[in-house]
Structure 1
Amino acid sequence: MNDLDQLVQDAQGDFAGANTPADLENAKARYLGKAGRLTEMLKALGALSPDEKKTRGALINGAKQQVEAALNARRQGLADAELEAQLKAEALDVTLPGRQRGTGGMHPITRTMERIEQIFASMGFEVADGPEIETDWMSFTSLNNPENHPARSMQDTFYVDMKDNEGRWYNLRPHTSPMQIRYAQAHAKKYAGQDHMPDIRVIAPGRTYRVDSDATHSPMFHQVEGLWVGENVSFKDLKSVYLNFIQAFFETTELKLRFRPSYFPFTEPSAEIDIMFESGPLTGRWLEVSGSGQVHPQVIRNMGLDPERYIGFAFGSGIDRLAMLRYGISDLRLFFDGDLRFLNQFK
């Protein structure tokens, strides 16, 4: 065996014994590096005669090709082994059942809102809808709450840096009362000039906004307001409607209802509505659930109606507050934190 055959055999053995790419590169350097055995042989050709250089050079190049072939084969072998190990580590058992997406559920506030709409629909009330960005006139002035009136501080809201064509500021509605005004104006216009106008019976549920935040208040919350206007609508009707609603909502007749005198610029007289359960964990406590009253004559005028002919009542309840009582929630902020551990309870 000549020196070149021995070199090829040594290289093949070293390459086969390399278990990592780094080991293989170290073995390569011993043969093909700047100071490698084959490189030294090629450098020595300069001392030979032209004929000897030609013959010896051809033999060295042949040996070099065998060494490079062995090197490339081992490189491919290491790459194949690494890929196989990776595939085994990331292997999927295709016989296992697939992972399904979890089933979603209705948010408790949405559930509560739908329940309220269904109950009032059963009593003949329609559901109104309207924009969440309103003019100052719709949010306050049309409700007998003129500019700079101290009652506005009770409903301090968020204003938008924009005015309408008449120079009135826009704001995020602090209550859903503008929806009642819009509905009543459209109703009055529809029956204008006729001898008889059907009663206005409508609820206005939706998002509202005020500058307030604590365990029982949120800058964004939900409210439902009700309106019944006709030629012969009394406080007795208000009590009857709200009592029927609250009993249906909580699915019990074991509760009491009381009216406390209060003040709202858009109703006169005005009253807070309290309830007290006669059984259950909230027994014996009066709980405020709504504001109400007879619609102020000025508000009737702003609806496009004659206050000498039409009269009615209005009320406003916090949907979030009703949901808290129904589900036994003590902190309003839980509804809006997005914690699935809390929300999954209502699925």
Structure 2
Amino acid sequence: METVTPQEPSGTTCPPPTRWGICSAGKISHDFLVALRTLPAEEHLAVAVAARELSRAQQYAQLHGVARAYGSYEELARDPEVDVVYVGTVNPQHLPDTLLFLRARKAVLVEKPMGISAREAKEMAAAAREAGVFLMEGFWTRFFPAWKRLKALVDEGALGECRVLQGALAFPLRSVERVREPSLAGGALLDLGGYALQMASALLGRGCPPLRLRAEGCLHPSGVDETVTVTLQYEGGKQAAMTVSMDAKMPGGAVLGGTRGWVEIPSHLNCPTELIWEGKREVFPLPPPAEPLNFPNSTGLRYEAQHVRECLLKGLTESPVMPLAESELIAEMMDEARRQVGAVGPGGTVP
């Protein structure tokens, strides 16, 4: 893995704060800023926010106590006091916005999905590798304490050989434009499916592609996928069956079974705060938000922000926990699942 000059100064001096720029003034960016404020100010500092309209950025900056507001993303890319940019724009903008910041030699944390296709994900990964600049897809799940506990149980063999993974993540989102419209790269898979696929990849595939992928589902009248079940088969008889839907409400639980035991995430498999292991419930509470949040458990975004800082201080150009190769693999699986159900994307295209 390529490294760059670490952010940390020499000697025993404490490292300076990681200075965040925020690309977009939307709902998820709000939650990210609220999460940042649960971390020490001497370690994380939001210094600039950019939106397509200056007035929107100014309102956002005032609300969150951010020093500078820009009416274009290009201005944010030119800000010399920004170390890393959080990209929270709508799905089709992830590619151009991420490339803009990478070319300006800014580290980037881009919301999932990294791209709306494997081609886009590969283009971003290639640009980051060529520039020698840090890039990570924001699968925040992997940094939650509950997930780390689950992963530790798997790695230490507490479940024996993991064989079966089942899960479902569903929210009633048919009325939400960004999920409903093909032009915005909507659909249950691009909105929720990445969480299910990353879980199967991490726990059963260990970053390797499945032997077989089968997807069945139904489409929204707009042409995006509405409800989809993806079955993945891996070497050694391992199998995952994961369902995502934008037309139902479910707790979002998942169960992983091994030859010696099982562990359950009872709800919110995308942002878990509890596990059931050997019949006992283990709880991992989140810090309370200083302001109302738009999405459940969003103060948990703090954990991926902490990880990004750790990577930058070590001079890494990608995360060892969420590497670019795995982001590319997940995008490939997403393409195949969307192709099998006939989901329509921007321009009426099917993967």
After TM superposition, is the score higher than 0.5?
no
- Structure whose CA Rg is larger: 1
Which fold has the larger relative contact order, with Cα–Cα distance below 8 Å and residues 6 or more apart in sequence? Answer: 2
What is the TM-score of this pair, normalised by structure 2? 0.24
